[in-house]
Amino acid sequence: MVLSDDMKTPQGIVEGTAPTFSNSWKANYMCPDREERLEDPCSLSVENEWYAKHWCALLLSPDSSFAQCRSVVDPELYYKRCTYASCNCEKSEDCLCAVFSSYARACASKGVFLEDWREKVCDKYSRNCPASQIFSYQHQRCQLTCRSLGSVQQNCISDFLPVDGCSCPDGLYLNENGICIPKAKCPCYHNEVYIKSGKSISIKDEHCVCNNGMLHCHSWRARSSTCPSPKQFFNCSAAGSGDLGLHCAPTCLNLDSDDCDSTECESGCRCPAGLLDDGKDSCVQRNQCTCKHDGHIYAPGSEIPEQCNTCTCKSGS
């Protein structure tokens, strides 16, 4: 699907292919139209064809590192992709290695982990890792950056497949400069600013210290003594993963909303579990919820005229 005007003709029509689009912009209509190229890209260069078929044949060879996977993942389709991509690419080796890596990942999903397949070709990727990083055929860890340590929304999943490539050694994390460092030296990230490990900042009414890539915060104010009963003080520094405190807390005024795009925890006074803030700083049961209409808050049971209707506030609706 074309989602922009990149393929739009002078008449304002979006074309579906590159040749028909280019034909619509001809400056000289005596020029013949460009036609679709449907031929095999390997037929355009004997040298590219030899390179592609020579190296892609490793996928089918019984003596290559890929052989142990043939019984669980058929390499024939990958071989066809490999030859086509290698002949069609400006940088043949990059595309060749991308298909090999794709096949290795498909094998890993079936429980067959391939190693040493980069020894004959694609070895420049395994020999040229950035400083402080190492190459592995089975990187099984995720959340390997300092910035990921403080992320509320974790990206790791239980069935994370091993991948080949460069990464930090065990126990080290990639910082904002691309260097692998211990977790204890990881900076924290807040509002697009990095805070050095051990440094403190003030966020709203809280004092926060950066430790192991995470901000640990506590309120400057006294804890529960400042909260009117029955509200209780919630402290983000003692919060579990995913608990955002005052952010996205259920109230009588957001009963019908499941949307919450906040990722930052906020400490403060909130209603105990099972009770909802009624918008007037009190905590009530759901059936005692107030309603908000036209900027005004109405008590449960109140009748509100709305054009030809009379509406009654009941359980927040």
User: Is there a contact between 228 and 207 (Cβ–Cβ < 8 Å)?
Assistant: no
Of 209, 316, 206, 225, nearest to 269 by C-alpha is 225
Whether the bond into 62 is cis, omega within 30 of 0: no
**Scanning the structure block, which residue is given the tokens 């003594």?**
225
Residues 6+ apart with CB under 8 A from 258: none
Tokens standing for residue 131: 């400083």
Residues 6+ apart with CB under 8 A from 12: none
User: Is there a contact between 43 and 49 (Cβ–Cβ < 8 Å)?
Assistant: yes
Beta bridge partners of 180: 174
Beta bridge partners of 257: none
Crossing angle of helices 92-109 and 46-56, rounded to 10°: 20
User: Is there a contact between 228 and 269 (Cβ–Cβ < 8 Å)?
Assistant: yes
- pLDDT exceeds cutoff 70 at 6: no
From the CB of residue 70, how many other CB atoms can be counted at a distance below 10 Å?
17
pLDDT digits (tens, 9 = 90+) for 98-138: 899 889 888 988 889 888 888 877 887 778 888 889 888 87
Distance CA 247, CA 270 (A): 10
- pLDDT exceeds cutoff 90 at 187: yes
The DSSP output letter for 83 is: H
User: Is there a contact between 104 and 165 (Cβ–Cβ < 8 Å)?
Assistant: no
Please name the helix (run of DSSP H) or strand (run of DSSP E) that holds residue 278, with its range, or none. Answer: none
**pLDDT at site 2:** 38
- Which of 15-19, 23-27, 168-172, 245-249 has the least mean pLDDT? 15-19
Residue 181: C-alpha distances to residues 17, 167, 283 (Å): 48, 12, 47
Calculate the average pLDDT of the chain.
Answer: 80
- Which of 61-65, 101-105, 244-248 has the least mean pLDDT? 244-248
pTM of the model: 0.49
Task: Calculate mean pLDDT across residues 266-285.
Answer: 84
Tokens standing for residue 259: 């949307």
**pLDDT at site 244:** 73
The DSSP output letter for 24 is: H
Q: Residue 216: pLDDT band by 50, 70, 90 thresholds? A: confident
The residue type at 176: E
From the CB of residue 35, how many other CB atoms can be counted at a distance below 10 Å?
9
**3 state SS of 48:** helix
- For 25: left if phi > 0, alpha if psi spans -120 to 50, otherwise beta; the answer is alpha
